[in-house]
């Protein structure tokens, strides 16, 4: 998990903070059609001519406010964040991630310092904030910015890396800050990448659009700004006052209440001076992807093939809906969700999701990991209705005692569920709880839920189910009693022996080192992955396929030889190209599924679903 570390809070003023609190806050188609393939992307051969389906309305949905989680009444939950073991350093800078997801209590939050008694007067010895280097690449603005230009603004620096779940958790908080203080505060995202793939500006540009960020972002891929401000964990937040002094620095998931109290106090102080030092002129932005391209799919995260029902389910993540297509013709059969962000149960055309990801089928039900709603949804495919079966829409902030079952899953705050898998007997649902670095298990008969694999610390440690340590599990595949886990932040595939009570790494680094990643084929001791998000396989478990997301490749793990080798996307580096296996290109594929010698791939950054034929090696675009 993320190790929380309070940095030296650089002498500003002391505020009495809030009470201890951790952060949180579909049309039935009359006749089938096929999703239109985005412009300039070649169309796969299909049984019928493609017919365009409109993308959802482009009007911005009402943001879902982050909310503080209350502990469930059905079981005792630990309230103190769980600290992770120190991880090894990155090549260019000492860096860690902050624990139990790095949540920071408001009463412990960073914005302290100053004179005893809570003086709001600035410290005469505050440090001048270091200026941004002139040669950095910027996004969401048409020109580089400087702190000198931002004199008069309260500048909030967000040091982040885009695959980090704790950084993702802070996005709604930053949105709240921007909405609460639209004139006084300027947020600057300082993207200091953990992974090599994240350091590429074009990849970062995609993420700025995917996360719908509305503030300037610096590509600090060489950690220049990071080092100058003394950051050493993701996420870290720095505050620069209107006079250009760095006045606070704090790592971890900081509650909105702490930001609000601190910023309000700073505004009140400067306004009391009567000097008009605060510049309330809005900052002009040039947002990346300000115009929705209108592609039928928008950053699809996962895909699920249903050969028995001849259906293909697509998590159209940034359109906040599930698309159901015919598995043979790829015609659209239904759209589940109205395309707006929210947590609403009901019929297909009124239900709402928030960045849905993984899906699983069981007894005619479609289970959905509704990631940003921190909920598990179930779709009654016959009645064409959606309901919530786990999670209450509030992001959890504490780890439950291991193995303690909550009697009503609907009352339990979950934390970024990313994938789901149904047990062989249909009675259990396994949940990749990315935000807690655990796998949970839900009893579908009693509706109880509990942590099942991982102690909640973010690491790559193999042990018993209860004492092993995972790092942002994001994909699941169950076969022969083995639950394969795409453990993204450790860049490994883990295998949990559910009967044997053990967890082992089968692909990726054998070391407990969250910075040991790469792109190397071969035996277990040498092969490396980079932030894999998806895993699937054939029915007998002899072939395990991996969406090696940040390498933009599809790889095969052979349990017999224990080797992992690239099968599609040989060139890597991201791109878009249909064709033979040695020339086909993907761009950060987030999920995949296997049926009868065919892989269906959610090619996330290309906004399409691809089909990869294992016998011929041919890759084509479906929708």
For Cα atoms 170, 173, 174, give the angle at the middle one, nearest 5 degrees.
Answer: 85
Q: State the pLDDT at residue 572.
A: 75
Q: Tell me how far apart the alpha carbons of residues 364 and 379 are, in angstroms, rounded to a whole number.
A: 9
Burial of 356-385, coded b for 16+ CB within 10 Å and e otherwise, reads bbbbbbbeebbbbbbbbbbbbbbbebeeeb
For 184-228, write each residue's pLDDT tens digit: 999 999 999 999 999 999 999 999 999 999 999 999 999 999 999
What are the beta bridge partners of residue 159? 190, 236
Q: State the pLDDT at residue 435.
A: 98
pLDDT level of residue 292 (50, 70, 90 thresholds): confident
Percent of the chain with pLDDT over 70: 80
Q: State the pLDDT at residue 479.
A: 99
List the one residue out of 38, 23, 44, 24 whose CA is nearest residue 110.
Answer: 23
Residue 256 in this model has a pLDDT that exceeds 80:
yes
Residue 569 in this model has a pLDDT that exceeds 60:
yes
Residue 9 in this model has a pLDDT that exceeds 90:
no
Neighbours of 208 (CB within 10 A): 22
What angle separates helix 256-273 from helix 171-180, to the nearest 10 degrees? 30
State how far the alpha carbon of 7 is from the alpha carbons of 4, 46, 229, 230, 232, in Å: 10, 58, 11, 9, 9
Q: Which residue has the tokens 């806050």?
A: 25
Q: Tell me how far apart the alpha carbons of residues 265 and 271 are, in angstroms, rounded to a whole number.
A: 10
SS3 431: strand
Residue 328 in this model has a pLDDT that exceeds 70:
yes
State how far the alpha carbon of 430 is from the alpha carbons of 304, 507, 535, 580, in Å: 16, 21, 14, 35
List the one residue out of 83, 128, 126, 491 whose CA is nearest residue 252.
Answer: 83
Least confident stretch, 401-415, 458-472, 547-561: 401-415
> Could you give the domains of the chain?
96-273 (3.40.30.10), 475-623 (2.120.10.30)
Q: Could you tell me whether strands 417-422 and 302-306 are parallel, antiparallel, or unpaired per DSSP bridges?
A: unpaired
Q: Which two tokens stand for residue 173?
A: 């908080």
Q: Tell me how far apart the alpha carbons of residues 611 and 618 are, in angstroms, rounded to a whole number.
A: 8
Q: State the pLDDT at residue 402.
A: 74
pLDDT level of residue 79 (50, 70, 90 thresholds): very low
Neighbours of 414 (CB within 10 A): 27
For 299-309, write each residue's pLDDT tens digit: 999 999 999 99
Least confident stretch, 381-390, 397-406, 464-473: 397-406
Full-model pTM: 0.85
Mean pLDDT, rounded, for 44-73 = 35
Q: Tell me how far apart the alpha carbons of residues 58 and 345 are, in angstroms, rounded to a whole number.
A: 22
117: left (phi over 0), alpha (psi -120 to 50) or beta: left
E strands within 133-289? 137-139, 154-160, 185-191, 217-219, 233-234, 236-240, 245-251
């Amino acid at each position: 998990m993320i190790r929380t570390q309070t940095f030296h809070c650089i002498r500003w003023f002391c505020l009495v903070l809030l009470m201890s609190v951790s952060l949180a806050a579909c049309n039935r188609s009359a006749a089938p059609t096929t999703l239109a393939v985005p412009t300039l992307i070649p169309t796969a051969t299909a049984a019928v001519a493609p017919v365009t389906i409109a993308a959802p309305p482009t009007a911005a949905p009402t943001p879902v406010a982050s909310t503080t989680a209350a502990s469930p009444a059905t079981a005792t939950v630990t309230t103190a964040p769980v600290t992770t073991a120190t991880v090894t350093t990155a090549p260019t800078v000492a860096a860690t991630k902050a624990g139990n997801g790095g949540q920071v209590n408001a009463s412990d939050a960073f914005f302290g310092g100053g004179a005893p008694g809570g003086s709001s007067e600035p410290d005469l010895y505050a440090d001048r904030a270091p200026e941004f280097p002139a040669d950095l690449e910027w996004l969401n603005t048409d020109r580089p910015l400087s702190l000198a230009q931002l004199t008069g603004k309260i500048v909030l620096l967000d040091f982040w890396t885009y695959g980090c779940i704790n950084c993702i958790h802070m996005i709604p908080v930053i949105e709240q800050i921007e909405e609460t203080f639209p004139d006084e505060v300027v947020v600057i995202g300082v993207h200091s990448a953990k992974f090599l793939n994240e350091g590429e500006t074009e990849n970062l540009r995609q993420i700025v659009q995917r996360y719908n960020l509305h503030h300037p972002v610096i590509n600090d891929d060489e950690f220049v700004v990071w080092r100058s401000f003394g950051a050493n964990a993701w996420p870290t937040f720095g505050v620069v006052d209107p006079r250009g002094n760095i006045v606070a620095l704090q790592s971890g998931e900081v509650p909105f209440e702490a930001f609000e109290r601190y910023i309000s106090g700073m505004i009140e102080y400067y306004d009391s001076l009567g000097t008009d030092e605060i510049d309330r002129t809005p900052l002009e932005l040039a947002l990346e992807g300000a115009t929705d391209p209108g592609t039928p799919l928008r950053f699809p995260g996962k895909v699920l093939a249903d050969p028995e029902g001849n259906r293909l389910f697509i998590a159209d993540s940034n359109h906040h809906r599930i698309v159901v297509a015919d598995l043979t013709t790829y015609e659209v059969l239904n759209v589940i969700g109205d395309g707006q962000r929210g947590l609403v149960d009901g019929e297909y055309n009124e239900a709402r999701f928030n960045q849905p990801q993984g899906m699983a089928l069981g007894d005619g039900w479609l289970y959905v990991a509704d990631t940003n709603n921190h909920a598990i949804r179930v779709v009654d495919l016959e009645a064409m209705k959606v309901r919530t079966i786990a999670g209450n829409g509030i992001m959890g902030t504490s780890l439950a005692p291991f193995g303690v079952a909550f009697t009503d899953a609907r009352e339990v705050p979950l934390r970024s569920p990313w994938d789901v898998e149904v047990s062989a007997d249909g009675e259990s649902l396994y949940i990749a709880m990315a935000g807690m670095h655990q796998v949970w298990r839900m009893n579908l008969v009693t509706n109880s839920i509990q942590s099942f694999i991982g102690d909640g610390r973010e690491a790559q440690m193999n042990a018993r189910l209860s004492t092993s340590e995972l790092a942002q599990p994001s994909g699941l595949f169950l076969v022969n009693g083995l639950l394969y886990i795409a453990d993204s932040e450790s860049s490994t595939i883990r295998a949990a022996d559910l009967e044997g009570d053990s967890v082992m790494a089968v692909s990726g680094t054998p070391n407990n080192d969250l910075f040991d990643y790469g792109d190397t084929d071969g035996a277990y001791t040498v092969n490396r992955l980079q932030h894999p998000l998806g895993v699937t396989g054939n029915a007998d478990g002899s072939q395990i396929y991996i969406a090696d997301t940040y390498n933009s490749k599809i790889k095969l793990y052979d349990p017999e030889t224990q080797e992992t080798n690239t099968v599609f996307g040989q060139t890597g580096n991201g791109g878009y190209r249909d064709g033979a296996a040695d020339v086909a290109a993907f761009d950060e594929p987030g999920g995949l599924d296997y049926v009868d010698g065919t892989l269906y791939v959610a090619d996330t950054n290309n906004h399409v679903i691809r089909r990869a034929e294992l016998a011929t090696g041919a890759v084509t675009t479906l929708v």
